[in-house]
Amino acid sequence: MRQSIKVAEAGLESGAANITQALSNYDVPAIRRYQKKVGRPDINHIPGDDGLPLLGHFLNWTRDLHGWENEQYRRHGPVFRFRTPVIDGVFMIGPEANRLVLQNEQRIFSNYLAWAPTFDNLFDNALLQRDFDDHKGHRKTLQAAFKRQAIEGHIELMGPQISKGISRWPANSEVLMLNRIKELLLEVGSQVFLGVPLDEQAAKLNTAFTDIVAGTADPIRSRALWFSPYARGVRGRRVISEFITRTIPERRAVPTRDIFSQMCQLRGEDGQLVSDEDIRDDLIFLLFAAHDTTTTALCAILYALADNPEWQEEVCEEMRSFGTRTLNFEDIEKMQKTGWTFSEALRMYPALHSFPRQAISSFEFGGHVIPANTNVILSPLMTHYMPEFWTEPQRFDPLRFSPERAEDKKDFFQYIPFGGGAHKCLGLHFAQVQAKIVLFHLLSKYKVCKARPTTSYRFNPVPLAFPTDGLPLVLRRH
């Protein structure tokens, strides 16, 4: 059912016009002043409850987020409030909510204000944190690093490294695939993103990067606690920042095929080379966006293939049909069934369980007035299981993405694993290419089987949807 949507007129609310201008200009001091000035809005009129004392709904999120969201949606409809020790706010469920927030035509939802608590001192100045005109210009510049010619060069770098890495995986014994995939993609990322060979320096950078990601999930966020994940993450950012900053002159002078070198040659709309600071901040975030989301996607795909061996054989047959041991861009584009598998795994197990934004102005959705400065959360997880859009949504069924069925095309905002609108993931094509290369070399050598009897894919949604048990599988040689 289409929800009623009404947005407050721009400029009617105190500070809305000023903060919009500050975000559009990426005026960080002005944004910080605004953050300190505004308080938490009163959202008690929104349906829902406060959860447990102190913890709120934190345990619901970590134990069974999907189950909790389903229960709230059943009881309250597409708008309900939540509370955690870190943030509180409002969930908005369904394609209409996704359309309103992701298209953001009235410029009332901010990425920066929503992501700053998670990213501060870890992924500062990331593309995901930018809004409006500033985001548009910044994204336009970065797009050049992900065009077809660039991705063709990435394929040449990735293929041999992925094949070599997978050949080291043990056969016929239980393997925790999460660790193996993480290690493999970190090695590939060192070369494809940073242009660093696999040596002690690469290992140091990979450890630093892992610490940064872990720091995003630390609720305490104190640098003074030197042993905490957040403090280690801040130190990890410093390590990678120093490497990037001192290496930029070399990559500007003698570019290679890695993304780091390509970014060093990029020019903004003014014709000037992108600044050292922007290269540093964008590259650190791109490492996160490409590595961890692809890791979670591959874990979900491998679980699904192990759970559905008949479909695994379909994918293997498609790969055998190429009659080659290496892939080029055209081969990857033809991997249709593999692509449907990728899409279906991300429908069922999206890497990001939710997309946060912060409202700058108050607005009305579904009969509820949501005040300015409210944290608004969209849920790909819920949208991807709505029975009005998906046939038997609990069932793994890649054919739903085939041209004959095209279930994902019923509504443009019903399938959002990569977000949507102006902030749709810049590297989604790169992620698909990388995942297909991994699957090609893995399934060419092994049949993927469950190591233990399981009936569902269990994952911890914070910070990303990593399998809680490490994904134990057995790789059997063909």
d(CA 211, CA 196): 19
* 6 band by pLDDT with thresholds 50, 70 and 90: low
pLDDT confidence of residue 173: 93
pLDDT confidence of residue 292: 85
Dihedral in degrees, nearest 10, Cα atoms 128, 192, 274, 112: 10
Nearest to 187 by CA among 287, 85, 282: 287
Q: What is the CATH number of domain 5-477?
A: 1.10.630.10
The pLDDT of residue 454 is above 90: no
d(CA 444, CA 325): 9
In which region does residue 254 sit, left (phi positive, over 0), alpha (psi from -120 to 50) or beta (all else)?
beta
Beta bridge partners of 67: none
With a threshold of 0.85, does the pTM exceed it?
yes
- AA identity, residue 209: F
pLDDT confidence of residue 150: 87
The pLDDT of residue 291 is above 90: no
**What does DSSP assign to residue 56?**
B
What are the φ/ψ torsions at residue 416 (nearest 5 degrees)?
A: -135, 45
d(CA 313, CA 49): 47
* 1 band by pLDDT with thresholds 50, 70 and 90: very low
CB 231 within 8 A of CB 225: yes
> Average pLDDT for residues 32-50, to the nearest whole number?
94
The token pair that represents 11 in the structure block: 């400029």
d(CA 353, CA 57): 15
Q: Coil, helix or strand for 84? A: coil
